[in-house]
Structure 1
């Protein structure tokens, strides 16, 4: 039977167990989750709780700054995924439906790679702006060190998850290693302010969309107005928020890589109940993992006819950034 709700999977046997544990205890469960609903929640990931809390705290301090100070680090262009984006400046739903109504009720701060590769690779024409410099707020100097440490830790976790994915897809464990060693991932922290006035009809915190890349690693708060996914029956179901756990989902690129054996699932962030007040403020730490820009994205299922022409990670992402203007 298909999973209709998001499962919780302990990945510590992959990190500490035997080859059999990796395959039968973790990879098998991850494969089912990615085939059925595209969203596992993971425990046993090994990320230090103190680092998570410091990242949450410094992010809250940034979003508490006056608007004019946040705008000092405003996103410079639609194809440069860096800097601050304000409330009502995006509509994620338009990535699927150009006619979708309403802009999203959140603001965000975004960075990219903190350890760029050699200049010849980073500055090659095919690199585009994937290694554009980060924009750091002078008003909050401690943020750079915390975000840098968190970005690096998420890169390590993503590499481990890609090894789990490899086994789940019937590939050698280290198949993806040389395809993600110069990844073009983004850390985007989203703040969903408490709603002091009623949203416009049809307007929610984040419209229904799928993610673009290989996988997303999300640390969310258990607050009113949270994340929902659309399951195989077409029903919207809440994603469980477990203390210390990460929500993981695959994106369009990984679905394409798997020849659609895995699903990049529609998800959204709904509004809190009317009158929820200050307690409905919600913050999410979101790491969008993307392979090296020159990694070939082609059918990994040799027994199946390819549904898509080969492309590269960089081209796939760049086309979506420009098309939707909401990276």
Structure 2
């Protein structure tokens, strides 16, 4: 596979077919994850109307006056829920970079409800299972987000089964590691740029993601997503309204002992003078294992490149590093 293309993988045969079809699609995933760590999926079963509904609510919210949006900020700056204004974090700092705050706004939310049991409601659980914060407008925002989140849960569960097959593991290898996952979503808004960015400032600086898989629905507008190939080339990632871009996160790379790559990517600035057409929204589901899942390399004894790490602790560390 050349390192100048983002492969497109049709999931429908795996989701609707027998084990032989699942293995065939798993081999395509293995090739993509080994080569570049990014691929586009079709045949995923997520209705376009559902995607469009959440995107429409996000667009309405982000185009509200700033003072109204800021009423949806969390009460404490460390709480990963609600609205964040332009420049709140700099993602490149999670990979030891140094840049001004990213030129994006975002809305951060997780699952809407969870069981009333100690895993979720105990002292540790409360760090990850946090009530969502929703704005007064637009009506239906929270409901649309909950429906979309549930569809992403279904899809990532199916994809992690395929990932296990691709790695030569039992198909259910990841099930007890993601059945109480701590996944957060971000609705990212990249406004049209009225002023020139500071030196080194981007919509999202070069970074890797932290968890297992990221599933993103984006837009083809000026100033979009780019991924760095193994050869160092920056490659534009095309998207369509009814497809998702999938990339590998740090924990899955660690689990595979670098067999799969958690690749550096960024969101570049639009060309000067692009105007309102450069406004961009992406819907990003950052699939993250149970907070107590121990991520240990599936490698022969003595060959592991990384020490074991707890899923929740790793995410906490990365969140802290990216705050401006």
Equivalent position SS for 1:125: coil
Could you tell me how far apart the structure 2 residues matched to 1:308 and 1:127 are?
26
**Deviation above 6 Å: which 4+ runs of structure 1?**
none
More displaced 10-residue stretch of structure 1: 6-15 or 113-122: 113-122
More displaced 10-residue stretch of structure 1: 134-143 or 185-194: 134-143
C-alpha distance after superposition, 1:60-102 (max 9, x if no partner): 011011111111111444542111111122211111225x122
Structure 1 unaligned spans of 5+: none
Could you tell me how far apart the structure 2 residues matched to 1:76 and 1:38 are?
36
Per the TM alignment, residue 185 of structure 1 is displaced from its structure 2 partner at its CA by: 0.4
> Are residues 1:265 and 2:239 paired?
no
Task: Name 2:11's counterpart in structure 1.
Answer: 11
Equivalent position SS for 1:40: strand
> Are residues 1:107 and 2:105 paired?
yes
Could you tell me how far apart the structure 2 residues matched to 1:70 and 1:258 are?
41
> Are residues 1:205 and 2:203 paired?
yes
Could you tell me how far apart the structure 1 residues matched to 2:308 and 2:123 are?
19
Alignment of 1:39-58 (within 5 A): 39-58=38-57
The one of 235, 238, 246 aligned to 1:237: 235
Equivalent position SS for 2:133: coil
RMSD, aligned α-carbons = 1.6
Could you tell me how far apart the structure 2 residues matched to 1:192 and 1:288 are?
18
User: Is the contact made by 1:213 and 1:288 (CA closer than 8 Å) also made in structure 2?
Assistant: yes
The one of 211, 215, 218 aligned to 1:217: 215
TM-score in terms of structure 1 length: 0.95
Alignment of 1:129-168 (within 5 A): 129-168=127-166
> Are residues 1:88 and 2:97 paired?
no
Could you tell me how far apart the structure 1 residues matched to 2:77 and 2:256 are?
29
Per the TM alignment, residue 226 of structure 1 is displaced from its structure 2 partner at its CA by: 0.5
More displaced 10-residue stretch of structure 1: 157-166 or 3-12: 3-12
More displaced 10-residue stretch of structure 1: 315-324 or 169-178: 315-324
Could you tell me how far apart the structure 2 residues matched to 1:103 and 1:209 are?
13
Task: Name 1:33's counterpart in structure 2.
Answer: 32
Per the TM alignment, residue 273 of structure 1 is displaced from its structure 2 partner at its CA by: 1.3
Per the TM alignment, residue 142 of structure 1 is displaced from its structure 2 partner at its CA by: 1.2
Could you tell me how far apart the structure 2 residues matched to 1:118 and 1:298 are?
29
User: Is the contact made by 1:87 and 1:105 (CA closer than 8 Å) also made in structure 2?
Assistant: yes
TM-score in terms of structure 2 length: 0.95
C-alpha distance after superposition, 1:118-151 (max 9, x if no partner): 3311123333511011111123331111111111
More displaced 10-residue stretch of structure 1: 110-119 or 128-137: 110-119
Per the TM alignment, residue 303 of structure 1 is displaced from its structure 2 partner at its CA by: 6.4
> Are residues 1:119 and 2:117 paired?
yes
Per the TM alignment, residue 275 of structure 1 is displaced from its structure 2 partner at its CA by: 1.3
Equivalent position SS for 1:217: strand
Paired positions, count: 324
> Are residues 1:247 and 2:245 paired?
yes
Per the TM alignment, residue 265 of structure 1 is displaced from its structure 2 partner at its CA by: 0.4
Task: Name 1:23's counterpart in structure 2.
Answer: 23
Could you tell me how far apart the structure 2 residues matched to 1:173 and 1:313 are?
21
